[in-house]
Structure 1
Amino acid sequence: MAEQESDTPLVRLDGISKHFGEGETRVDALRDVSLEVFPRQVVALLGPSGSGKTTLLNIIGCILDPSAGAMELDGELVLHEGQWQRSDLRRLRLEKIGFIFQFHNLLPFLDATDNVAVVLQLAGADSGTARRRAGDLLDDLEIGHRKYAMPAKLSGGEAQRVAIARALANSPRIILADEPTAALDSKRAGIVMDLLRNLAVERDAAIIAVTHDEKIFDRFDRIFHLRDGRLADA
């Protein structure tokens, strides 16, 4: 397991809360969650269905607006008193965050290579460089032989590995994963976790994963347990 090698967290949450609705219909999805994740750490968010895991992941990813709290990402205060401090959250996500979703969300009109390369091109890479980088990532995930396949022709496990390659394309320092190995067998799940671990070490990155996959529990440096929207222990 990785040792904490920095006193400065890549992700710092302070009092994050999220509720949906008001009055009698109000649901408190998150309640005063505070935690820190440091460079080179691979951590898990565990908890029963409805405990707030995915809600928390989406707030860290600047996708979902919180109701209260503060958040720092890579040393930048991006949320203060429940208000975003950046006007362009899309650029922040592109620069600093890689997403691996439970469902692959590949673009159906692009082949596997271009589904990965498009992220690099959005960040400014030329087409040739983007496709070469995409090919290398697909090879690392042992899916290079399917680099010209369209998403509809990929198996669930193949599509998920392409989605993981896409998340790693810009070498982000913060990677958020929602059930990243659910569609993979033990061998492929190990390959994915090893790749994420290597990225964390090589790039001083932090990996935060929501998972129920018992095959990979021993791959995490730390496990945060959520229960009824609260951090049970850390």
Structure 2
Amino acid sequence: MALGDTLIEVTGVAKHFGEGETRVDALRAVDLTVRAGEVIALLGPSGSGKTTLLNVIGCILAPSAGRVVLDGEPVFDGKWLRRDLRRLRLDKIGFIFQSHNLLPFLTAQENVSVVLDLAGWPPDEGRARARELLDYLEVGHRAMVKPALLSGGEAQRVAIARALANRPRIILADEPTAALDGARAGLVMDLMRRLAVEQEACIVTVTHDEKIFDRFDRLIHLRDGHLVSA
């Protein structure tokens, strides 16, 4: 597969919590590059630094040291280089979680279009974009249904549509298939791979789900905050 632009460039990133005897080094001098079209997995035991690294890339957690460049823009180099991190996340990053986190009082379509409302899209365009994504992910027929009436696989596809609504090129997923059976997990990962290629995005997934390991381009292992293989 031909890969595109470098979308994530993490250089010398470290993150510690606490000081002195209580200090915990969650990340230690991590270097990682991910390009458009790539789907990669972060693997490792509990406490190895996987979610911490995902949160650093997602601009939720500030590193203690190092440099982060997203989609060609330096965003952290000893300090945040962008004042409005909320806008940065909205423009560049889509998040997918183990629990779909859909708003229970909104329909599937409204759960997707609300992201575009926040981004300042005109309402009609936001609704059209939401329906386009739901159709693309083969849940358009469930657009007017609220989350309680969706199956687990349907809800996760709506959550993927929401993550993609504003066309981010960086998609971060934290255990996105843990609640799904093998068949549904495979379908979700196949959809995500297709999206990465067609939308020139990259996907970084924290997972323990061995049944989807063959869906990734690279398996990246973390242990005690160190990148031990890539």
TM-score normalised to the size of structure 2? 0.93
From 109, 115, 130, give the equivalent of 1:113: 109
CA RMSD of aligned residues (A): 1.7
Partner SS state of residue 205, structure 2: strand
C-alpha distance in structure 2 between counterparts of 1:129 and 1:119, whole Å: 12
From 103, 119, 126, give the equivalent of 1:123: 119
From 126, 130, 134, give the equivalent of 2:130: 134
**2:63 corresponds to which residue?**
66
Asked if structure 2 preserves the Cα contact closer than 8 Å seen for 1:38 and 1:206, the reply is: yes
* Distance 1:157-1:192 versus aligned 2 partners, 3 A rule: closer
Taking only the aligned residue pairs, the percentage that are identical comes to 69
**1:14 corresponds to which residue?**
11
Asked if structure 2 preserves the Cα contact closer than 8 Å seen for 1:3 and 1:41, the reply is: no
**2:53 corresponds to which residue?**
56
Gaps of at least 5 residues in structure 2 are none
C-alpha distance in structure 2 between counterparts of 1:27 and 1:149, whole Å: 45
Partner SS state of residue 37, structure 2: coil
What is the letter of the counterpart of residue 95 of structure 2?
F
Partner SS state of residue 211, structure 2: helix
Partner SS state of residue 131, structure 2: helix
**1:3 corresponds to which residue?**
2
Once the two structures are superposed, what CA deviation does each residue of 1:186-221 show, in whole Å capped at 9, x if it has no partner?
Answer: 333233222222222222211111111222211111
Displacement of 1:149 in angstroms is: 2.5
What is the total number of aligned residue pairs between the two structures? 230
What is the letter of the counterpart of residue 60 of structure 1?
I
Displacement of 1:4 in angstroms is: 2.9
Matches for 1:1-234 after TM superposition, within 5 Å: 2-6=1-5, 9-81=6-78, 83-234=79-230
What is the letter of the counterpart of residue 190 of structure 1?
G
* Distance 1:66-1:125 versus aligned 2 partners, 3 A rule: same
Once the two structures are superposed, what CA deviation does each residue of 1:33-54 show, in whole Å capped at 9, x if it has no partner?
Answer: 1110011111110111111101
Displacement of 1:68 in angstroms is: 1.0
Displacement of 1:155 in angstroms is: 4.1
C-alpha distance in structure 1 between counterparts of 2:164 and 2:83, whole Å: 24
What is the letter of the counterpart of residue 230 of structure 1?
H
C-alpha distance in structure 1 between counterparts of 2:3 and 2:155, whole Å: 33
Moved more, 138-147 or 197-206: 138-147
C-alpha distance in structure 1 between counterparts of 2:120 and 2:4, whole Å: 31
Once the two structures are superposed, what CA deviation does each residue of 1:76-121 show, in whole Å capped at 9, x if it has no partner?
Answer: 110002x110001111111111110122222233221111111122
